[in-house]
Amino acid sequence: MSQTTDDKPSLHVVPSFYGVYILQSIPKPRSTYIGSTPDPRRRLRQHNGDLKVGGAYRTKRPGCRPWKMIVLVHGFPSRVSALQFEHALQHSYQTRHITEQVGKSLSISKKLTNVKLLLSSPSFIRMGLEVAIFDQKAFEMWNDKSGHVPVELRDFDQFCDHEVKEIDIDEEKQIILNNKLECTVCNQTINYFLEESPSITTRQELTKFLGNYPLIGIHKDHCFHLTCIAKTESELIPRSITCTCGSKLNWIILIKVATRMRKYLLGDCVNAD
């Protein structure tokens, strides 16, 4: 949480999508570029000059366009964590996140090795990050390397159509507005309905308010505090949890929905960051 220029405190909302990507030049396959984005399709169009605004100096070099996106690591809980991964991948020979000695290399093979090393590092292994590969040769290189990190070979446009979209919380809104809820783990009443938006002007007031409204998860007719359901798992930060109904639920998706629900509860008195 931070204070912004318009004096509203900021509330962290986990982004619906944020990814770190590797581009490869089609006419010059040894030329690559690493970046991050919440919108891979738009970003690729910027790099290729299809959109006037955006892109990067390095991808505008003569003879390098068009570019294709060959690898995308996604599922970051914040823009900051994505930028940290991006920086570590760009400077793999310097970063503290990779303990193995790796030299500076332009090859796709070396970059894929570094992606695997970063995914298994203490800083990123608990984030539940996923990898999509859009190039057959890169997919084969990935599977030839040590370290079991499963990936899928995907079509880029189909991936963007199905995976890069805003989280919808309309169903969860209706449940909290129309039902008396209680946590199915601790049995305490959950009241996420307010007659009007609270008046919050400082970080201290926001912190106090959030203490009374912890993050919640909703699955069908089951509702629970995320802190309660997390305690039922052995991992400190679980990748998935078992709902009290028996269903396996993705932890990252629960967090994405929960942070949006809390922003909805607070209305316009805070900014989302």
Angle at the Cα of 152 from the Cα atoms of 219 and 86, rounded to 5 degrees: 90
Is pLDDT above 80 for 102? Answer: no
Domain boundary among 104, 136, 163: 163
Residue 130, in any domain of the structure: yes
**How far apart, in whole angstroms, are the C-alpha atoms of residue 258 and residue 223?**
11
| pLDDT band per the 50, 70, 90 thresholds, residue 1 | low
List Cα–Cα distances, 22 to 71, 90, 115, 190, in angstroms: 5, 10, 10, 44
Residue 8, in any domain of the structure: no
pLDDT tens sequence across 165-187: 999 999 999 888 877 899 999 99
pLDDT tens sequence across 15-30: 999 999 999 999 999 9
Residue 216, in any domain of the structure: yes
pLDDT at 141: 94
What token pair was written down for 139? 């997919």
Q: Note whether 32 and 114 are same-domain residues.
A: yes
Residue 73, in any domain of the structure: yes
Q: Note whether 201 and 150 are same-domain residues.
A: no
Q: How far apart are the first and last CA of the chain?
A: 8
Q: Which of 91-95, 159-163, 215-219, 244-248 has the lowest mean pLDDT?
A: 91-95
Q: Note whether 230 and 100 are same-domain residues.
A: no
Domain boundary among 163, 190, 217: 163
More confident residue, 128 or 230: 230
Q: Which domain holds residue 159?
A: 19-163
Contact 251, 240 (CB under 8 A): yes
Domain boundary among 116, 142, 163: 163
Q: Note whether 262 and 154 are same-domain residues.
A: no
Dihedral sign from CA coordinates of 249, 252, 258, 261? negative
Q: Note whether 266 and 141 are same-domain residues.
A: no
What does pTM read for this prediction? Answer: 0.89
- If one counts the domains in the chain, the total is 2
Is pLDDT above 60 for 3? Answer: no
Q: Note whether 37 and 132 are same-domain residues.
A: yes
Residue 2, in any domain of the structure: no
DSSP string, 208-240: HHHHHS--EEEETTEEEEHHHHHTTSSSSS-SE
Is pLDDT above 80 for 224? Answer: yes
